[in-house]
Structures are given as C-alpha cells and as structure tokens.
Structure 1
Amino acid sequence: MMSLKISKPIVSVAWLQEHLDHKNLIILDCTIPKVTEKSNAVNSDEKLQIKGAIFFDIKNTFSDVNGKFPNTILSPKEFEYKAQELGINNNSLIVCYDDLGVYSSPRVWWMFQLMGFTNVAVLDGGLPKWIEHKYPIEKQQNNSRSKGNFKTNYQSGKIKFTNDILSAINNKTILIADARSKGRFNSTESEPRSDVKGGHIPNSVSLPFSEIIENGTFKSEEALKVIFNEINPKKKPFIFSCGTGITASVLALGAEISGSKNYAVYDGSWTEWGSTENLPIEI
C-alpha cells in the first residue's frame, strides 16, 4: 500500500471513512473544552471518539505547561519527541478533528505545518459530522502505537511573537486579523480571563472565526476567497491573532483553503498582549 498524500488542508468525513483502514493513517482527537464553556465539559467516561483515534492533548502534552500564557508552543525538539511517542512517522497521513466541528483541530494542523510536516488535514465538521453520517465510533480509549520516527523541520516564518507584532503595527505592509468576537475586539464584552484588558492590537482588523464557519464546517473555497479578499484586498501577509492561539489557527486554515499561503499565527495572542504592561491597545 502506497503512502497516501493529502492535497488539500481539509478532508470530508466521507473521505476519511473511505481511507479508515489505510496503514499510514493517524487520526488525532484534538478536542479541548472551550474556555467559555467549562460547565459543559464532557465527562471522560461518556466521551466518544472516531474509531481508532488517538487523543492529542493540546493543553497538557503539546503546550509548554510552564509557559506564562496558555497553549504556548513547544520547542521543535520536544514536539518531535512527543509526536514520536504518539506513534507518528515521517510517512504518516494525519487527520485532526475535534468534538465541536471546527474549533481546536486547526491549531494542531498549524502546529504540524510549523514543524515542517505537511501531510496533515483537518476533518471538516469534526465528530458531529462523523456521527451524523453514522460512521464508526467508540468510547474513548488509548489506541497506543509503537514509537514513530517523526522529525521536525521548523518553519519559523509561520509563528510570530510580541516583538514581531510591535514592528508589524507600524508596518503597513502586514495585516493583523483578530479571530475573537467583535464584542471582545471592541471591548464591549469582557475577556474570559479577568487579568486581560479589553480592546485590540492597533491597526488590526476584526474577523471572528465564526464568520468563516457554517453549520460546523468551513464555508466554500469561493466564499472564503471573498471574505479574505474583502479584509485584505492588497494581499498583504497576514498575522492571525485570537485569545490564546486556538481560533487564530482557524483563520490560518481558512486562509490556506482560500489559496493564501502568506500568513503566520501570533502564539501569545490577546492573552499575552492584553496582560502585558506598556503595549499599545485600541478600543
């Protein structure tokens, strides 16, 4: 069986069902509880997963747990080691999904892109769409695999830090797009974290991630082209920001689907910007 290559950054549930038995396929359950929905967290004993999936723990394994801000990316070496521990190989075909349709899985897709691995896609519609089609599921279990030979090839251009943002603010050749709600962007609704100020990065534009999703799946490629062209008619390089780097990755994936390749994610996002002293804020 030849190694399967993914040509698009998202795959349908029908495509995944068709390739479910491919020996190089690794399905990653990338679910995290939404920061605003702690009370609705699913009980682990009731949690379901796609048959054969492996849990990819964004919060506790694939983020720097000692980092000052949530979801801080790991070093390439640590990422490589932990991906190998999950059984990921250089010739793996990775499909990421989450329980909410499209929420945290694009973050994992982006992490692999950052680490130089491109044979990875997001399952459009995630677990809800999979269940809707009555495709095979199982109770959450540890589908462990033998150690993989995954190697990173770090792509530093895909990630930005606070200093990059500071220089981008005055650089009219870059566009910062914020995936948070318009209310949080304009400081008319409060931040989920009490120590984070309201408002947005100066010269950034609001593009709530919910505007590129419809019924739990991405809008069409044509619709996404229109949305991204409207906010960025001059096709400047994008930097995507959000609360903690999760939904900025939804915008990154949307941009990729629309044909835009020139983008990066601000890893600390608004949690870092809004809680750091002496950074400029617009309301």
Structure 2
Amino acid sequence: MSDILIGALELSQRLERPDPPTLLDASLPNSPVAPYVAEDGQTLPGALEFDIERVFSDQSAPFPHTLPALDALQEACSKLGLSIDDDIVVFDNRGVFSAPRAYWLLTQAGFTHVRLLDGGLPGWVAQSLPVQQGYSEPTPLSTPPVLKANPSVVSVDDVQANIATPRFTLVDARSAGRFSGQAPEPRPEFPSGHVPGACNLPFGDVLENGHLKSREEIARLLIDRGLSPEDHVAFSCGSGITACILWVAAELAGFERLSLFDGSWTAWVMSGRHQG
C-alpha cells in the first residue's frame, strides 16, 4: 500500500490547494527509547494536536496508551473536527515514532484517507518548509463521526492462548536486549524478556534517518523472520506505540492480516503471565 506515506514536498504542495488535508501532530514527550528532541513547540502550519497520552488513550486503564472506548474515541475525534472521509496526514516530531499509533487508531476506526508524513517534522524542517509555534484551534463537529470498534486488537488472553495453539505470529518491536532479557526495561519495576514464541524485530530496523525503509527492505526483514504476506501477524512492544511502526511497515510490505497486542509487554507483565 504505497499510498500510506506522503513526503514533505508533496505535502507542502497539497497544503497550497483549496482543500488541504487536516494535519494531526501526534508527537509524544521525550522517551528513553527514541532520540531526544527539543520541546520547542514547533509544528506544521495549521496542525492540530492529536494527544495520544491524555485524549486518545483510556485514562482509566492500568497501563499507558490503551485504546480508548469507542464512544470516547468518537467524542475525541468530534472535538478535533474529524469526519470519517476527511483527508488526514499524521506526523510526529521524531521522524517516524508515535504518528503510526495515530494512523492505526484512525484507520482501524474507519477513517478512509489517512496518510503518514514520512520523516515527520524533522524531514519537513530539513526541506526549509515553514513551521508555526503551537497548535491551531480545531473546529468541532456538531455530530460525532460514526466509527467502528477496532477489529485488530488481541488481548492478554489471546496471546496466552496463542502459545499453546498458534493462530498468529507475535512480533516484538522492542530492542534485542530488552527482548532477550539482557537489557533493562525503561520502567525499572518491570522485568525484561518476551512472550514465549514471539520473535523480535526492533522498530529501528525498519527505519533509516527518520524515514521508513523501502517496502523491499522491510519485506526482507519480515521474511528473514519466517513471515510471509499471507501470515497472520500481531505486533507488540512496551506499551503499544512502537508496535504501530511495525504495523505501518508491514502494510507497506503487503501484509494484510495484522493485529496489535495493545497492552503489549506492560500488560503481559502486569497480568503476571511472565512468571509462568
């Protein structure tokens, strides 16, 4: 699906048209698993804030970044003025890091025209394109969009059942050290390691200089792990953010049977399954 991505120059041209796309800034605060960026308030002209941590996550869930309930998602989209058929471009301030989470949330809810800015804000700035300070104000909808429940989520119980009776391959996006148990988790109270039967594809392996690698390179990485486009693949990480980078990468490579372990390693550890 080559139309998932849009480059900075193409986007800048689209923004000059009478019907420009809606820009959603899905940046997260600085993270120990991603390069540091200056929190200077820069964003693309006209961009709205897509707040993953405080709005587009279930605040009552015991672990971070959990998919919100459908009614809460509809309300959040309504407040941003997002209609189901809108032309939307998501991006973040690290290149490709948290914007894939926004892409996953929206496309799985039924939004039909969502693209990811490859290279994100750094790629935009590298082209000397204009920026603004702070977010633009949205125009809320009078009626919330009618969204669908996310069909791609697998639960802790699904992942547990998959160990005994494999129905999908679980691919973990964390670093090789965290996956093997040799490196600590960013949250010191959590052990590292992995779900039995999972394989490891660190999210950084599908990226190069803040951009996604070519679909051919990504396909090679997936094939090297014994996967083919016909397989059912579920992605996991620490808390559901970088797993979405692999989701987008797999879509680019032509994989279609995709799922996401939304709670990821955090949910697995908190459930006590890692001790079994």
TM-score bin (small chain): over 0.9
In structure 2, the residue matched to 1:35 is 31
In structure 1, the residue matched to 2:256 is 261
In structure 1, the residue matched to 2:222 is 228
Q: Is the 8 A contact 2:37 2:93 kept in 1?
A: no
In structure 1, the residue matched to 2:70 is 76
In structure 1, the residue matched to 2:108 is 114
Match of 2:202 among 194, 203, 208: 208
| Counterpart-to-counterpart distance in 2, 1:190 and 1:206 | 16
| Counterpart-to-counterpart distance in 2, 1:69 and 1:55 | 22
Alpha-carbon offset, residue 39 of structure 1: 11
Match of 1:26 among 13, 22, 26: 22
| Counterpart-to-counterpart distance in 1, 2:269 and 2:49 | 31
Match of 2:51 among 47, 57, 60: 57
The aligned runs of 1:69-108 (5 Å cut-off) are 69-108=63-102
* 1:183 is aligned to 2:174: no
Seen in structure 2, the aligned counterparts of structure 1 residues 39 and 10 have a Cα distance that, compared at 3 Å, is: closer
In structure 2, the residue matched to 1:152 is 147
Match of 2:164 among 167, 170, 179: 170
Q: Could you say what secondary structure the match of 1:231 adopts?
A: coil
Q: Could you say what secondary structure the match of 1:244 adopts?
A: coil
| Counterpart-to-counterpart distance in 2, 1:206 and 1:91 | 36
Seen in structure 2, the aligned counterparts of structure 1 residues 207 and 94 have a Cα distance that, compared at 3 Å, is: same
1:35 corresponds to which letter in structure 2? Answer: S
1:26 corresponds to which letter in structure 2? Answer: T
- Return 5+ residue gaps in structure 1 as ranges: 1-5
The C-alpha deviation readout for 1:80-136, integer Å capped at 9, x for no partner, is 111010011122111000000000000000001221223101100000000000112
| Counterpart-to-counterpart distance in 2, 1:211 and 1:242 | 14
Q: Is the 8 A contact 2:95 2:119 kept in 1?
A: yes
Q: Is the 8 A contact 1:209 1:251 kept in 2?
A: yes
1:91 corresponds to which letter in structure 2? Answer: D
Seen in structure 2, the aligned counterparts of structure 1 residues 77 and 178 have a Cα distance that, compared at 3 Å, is: same
| Counterpart-to-counterpart distance in 1, 2:28 and 2:243 | 15
Q: Could you say what secondary structure the match of 1:14 adopts?
A: helix
**Root mean square deviation, CA, Å:** 2.0
Match of 1:242 among 237, 241, 260: 237
| Length-normalised TM-score, structure 1 | 0.90
| Counterpart-to-counterpart distance in 2, 1:247 and 1:171 | 26
| Counterpart-to-counterpart distance in 2, 1:121 and 1:273 | 31
- Return 5+ residue gaps in structure 2 as ranges: none
The C-alpha deviation readout for 1:199-249, integer Å capped at 9, x for no partner, is 100000010000000010000111111111221345421010000000000
Higher alpha-carbon deviation: 53-62 or 193-202: 193-202
1:254 corresponds to which letter in structure 2? Answer: A
| Counterpart-to-counterpart distance in 1, 2:42 and 2:255 | 34
Seen in structure 2, the aligned counterparts of structure 1 residues 38 and 126 have a Cα distance that, compared at 3 Å, is: closer
